[in-house]
Amino acid sequence: MALVIYYSLVIVSTASFVSFSLAHEMEMEMEMEMTMAFQPSPPADEMWIAPNSDDTWDLEPAESDDLVLAPRRTYRKDPLDHFQIYTGGWNITNRHYWASVAYTGLPIFVIGAIWFATFGICLFLICLCYCFRQREPYASSSPIAYALSLIFLLLFSMAAIIGCVVLYSGQGKFHSNIINTLQYVVNEAEFTSQSLRNVSEHLVAAKQTSVVQVSLPPNVQTDIDRIQTMIDTSATTLTTTTQHNSRHISKLLHSLRLALIIITIAMLLLTFLGLAFSMLGMTLPVYILVIAGWILVTGTFILCAIFLLLHNATGDSCAAMKQWIQNPTPHTALDHILPCVDQPTAQQSLTNTKQVTSQLVDLINTVITNVSNINFAPNFVQLYYNQSGPLLPTLCNPFHPDLSDRPCAPGEVHLDNATQVWSGSVCRASPSGICFTTGRLSPNLYSQFSATVNVCTGLYQYSPFLIQLEDCSYARQTFLDVQTKYCPGLQKYSQTVYVGLLMLATAVMMSLLFWVMYGRERRHRHRRPGKENMPRGFVYAKDQDCEDDKQK
C-alpha cells in the first residue's frame, strides 16, 4: 500500500508541476498578444515595454463619453465572452471585468483541480488494492534512499513552516493596509459630505437672516431652497455609495482573512503531525494525514488563485487611479469608490453662495450707509436710536456684481475682523433700544450684524471647497494619496500572500510524498536485521515451525 501511495503522489506532483509550466506558457502567450495588440513594431534599438506595467496607452475613442480606465493593464481574455479580449477597462461593477481578472488565476486553479482529481483517482485505486491485495513482499532498504527521504522530508517540512510564517505575516499586513485605505477613503467622503451639509446649513441661515427687518429677496430665497435639496441629495449619495462599497469590501476581506488564518493553522499543525508520525513510523496516522493534506492542499491552491486575482485587481485599481489623476474626468468607474459631486450641483452651489454672500454684504452696507452713519432726529422713530460718534466703516464685498473676486477698497473692513472693528462702536442702550452713550450701533443691531457676518464668512470660506467640487479636485487629491501612500503596500503584501500560499501548498504537497516514502524506508530498515542477507532457503526456526504447522 505504501508503494501505491508513493507512486501515486509522484504522479500527482509531476502532473501538477507540468500543469503549472503549461499554464505559465499560456500566460506568457497572452501577455505577448497584449503587447502585439497595443504596440506597433518598435525599432531594433528600442525595448519592448512590459504589458503589465502601470503605464496607460491611448485606445481608440469609445462609443461612450466615459473614460476607459487602465485599458492596457486590463487587456485580458474574458471567459464570459467566448474568451474574446476584454477592452472595457477597470470597472468593479462589470462582471466581464471580474471574469477577465479571474482568468489570470486560471493556472493555479488548474493545478488545484488536477491535484484534487488525480489524487482522488489514486485514492480509489489504493482502496481497491488494499481490499484485494496479497501480503506485501519485503523490499530491501537502500541507505541512500533512506537518507535522501529524511533530508527532503526535513527540507519540505521547513519550507512549509516558512510558508506558514510568510503567509501569516503577509495576510496581517495586507489586511491592515487595505482596511486603512478603505477607512481613509470613507473619511474623505464623510468630510466632503459634511462640508456640503455645512454649506446647506449656512444657506438656510442666510435665508432666515434679516437686518432691521430687511431680508433677502424672495427669488434668492427660492434659489436657496432649490440648491439646498440638490446639495443634500449629493451629500447623501456620496456617503451612501462610499460606505456601501466599503462595507461589502470589508466583509469579503474579513472572510478571506479568516480563511487564511484557518489554512495557516491547519497546515502548520498538519506539517508537525505528519513529520512526527512519519519519524515515529506510525503508518495509519500518516495515511490519515495524507488524506487530510490532500483536501487542505486543494483549498490552499484555490485560496492562492483567489489572492492572485485580488493582487491583479489591486494593481488594476492603482493603475486606474494613476490614469485618472492625470486626467480627472467625471462619470467614470471610479465613481463607485469615491464619486464626484454632480457638476451642475457644484456649480450652482458655488454661484448661489457667492450671490447670497454678496447680497448679505450689500444689505449690511445699506444699513450702515443709510441708518447707522446718519444722525436722525428723534421724530424718525423707526430709524432713530441716538446714533453718534465716528462713522462706521463699510463691509468689504469679496465679489463684483459678475461674481468675480474683488479686492477690498481702502476704508472697508474684511469679513474676518468686521465684528471686532465694529464692537468699538456699540453704545449702551436703554430697554427701549435708545443709546445713552456714544456709538453708531445699538446692541440689538450689532448682534444682527454679527449674525449676518458669520453667515457671510461661512459661505465665503466654503467657496474654495465648492470650486474643488466643481472640478472634482477633492477626489483627485484623495486618489493621489491612495496611489502614493497605500498602493505600494497593497500590491506588495497581496503578492506576499499569494506567494506564501503557493509556497505552502507546494511544500505540503511534497511533504505528503516524503511522509510515505520515509515511513516505507524506515519500516524496511527496522525489520529483523540480517534476514535479507541469509542464504536462499535458510529461515528462522520460528518460521520453520509455522511452515510445519501449515503442512500438518
Q: What percent of the chain has pLDDT over 90?
A: 14
pLDDT, tens digit (0-9, with 9 covering 90-100), for 381-420: 788 888 888 899 999 999 998 888 899 999 899 988 899 9
Q: What nine digits make up the cell of 326?
A: 492625470
**pLDDT surpasses 50 at 530:** no
pLDDT at 136: 52
Distances from the Cα of 388 to the Cα of 382, 422, 515, angstroms: 16, 14, 103
Nearby residues of 18 by Cβ (< 8 Å), 6 or more positions away: none
CA–CA separation, 118 and 17 (whole Å): 13
Higher-confidence residue: 538 or 171? 171
Instruction: Report the DSSP beta bridge partners of residue 441.
Output: 426
Cell numbers that stand for 481 in this block: 494619496
> In the chain, count of helices (H) and strands (E)?
13, 4
Q: How far apart are CA 70 and CA 317, in angstroms?
A: 8
Instruction: Write the DSSP assignment of 169-238 as a string of letters.
Output: HHHHHHHHHHHHHHHHHHHHHHHHHHHHHHHHHHHHHHHH-EETTEE--HHHHHHHHHHHHHHHHHHHHH
Task: For the chain, give the longest Cα–Cα distance.
Answer: 148
Report angle CA 63, 68, 71 to the nearest 5 degrees.
Answer: 120
Please say whether the beta carbons of 455 and 358 come within 8 A. Answer: no
Amino acid at 193: S
The per-residue pLDDT for 13 is: 54
Residue 461 has a pLDDT of: 87
Please tell me the distance from the alpha carbon of residue 182 to that of residue 247, in angstroms, as a whole number: 9
- Read off the pLDDT of residues 425-448 as tens digits, 9 standing for 90 and up: 899 988 888 898 998 888 989 999
- Strand partners of residue 210: 215
Average pLDDT of the chain, as a whole number: 79
In whole angstroms, give the CA distance from residue 251 to residue 239.
18
The C-alpha atoms of residue 444 and residue 453 are separated, in whole angstroms, by 14
pLDDT in tens, 172-218: 999 999 899 988 988 888 888 888 888 888 888 888 888 877 788 88
pLDDT at 269: 93
- What is the reported pLDDT for 266? 92
C-alpha 392/C-alpha 412 separation (Å) is: 9
Helix (H) or strand (E) holding 65: none
E-strand ranges in 275-423 read: none
Q: Which string of DSSP letters, residue by residue, matches 351-369?
A: HHHHHHHHHHHHHHHHHII
* Local structure of residue 335 (DSSP, 8 states): G
Helices within 427-551 (DSSP H only): 443-461, 463-471, 473-481, 487-525, 541-551
Q: What pLDDT, in 10s, does the model give residues 473-498?
A: 888 888 899 989 999 999 999 989 98
pLDDT digits (tens, 9 = 90+) for 254-301: 988 899 999 999 999 999 998 888 888 788 888 888 889 889 999 999
Asked if residues 264 and 304 have their Cβ atoms less than 8 Å apart, the reply is no
Cβ-based burial of 141 (10 A; exposed 0-12, middle 13-18, buried ≥19): middle
Q: Is the pLDDT of residue 58 over 50?
A: no
d(CA 539, CA 534): 8
Domain ranges of the chain: 2-38+65-193+242-330+504-532, 343-471
Does the pTM exceed 0.85? no
Nearest-angstrom CA–CA distance, 288 and 515: 11
Q: Is the dihedral of CA 243, 245, 248, 250 positive or negative?
A: negative
What single-letter amino acid sits at 69? L
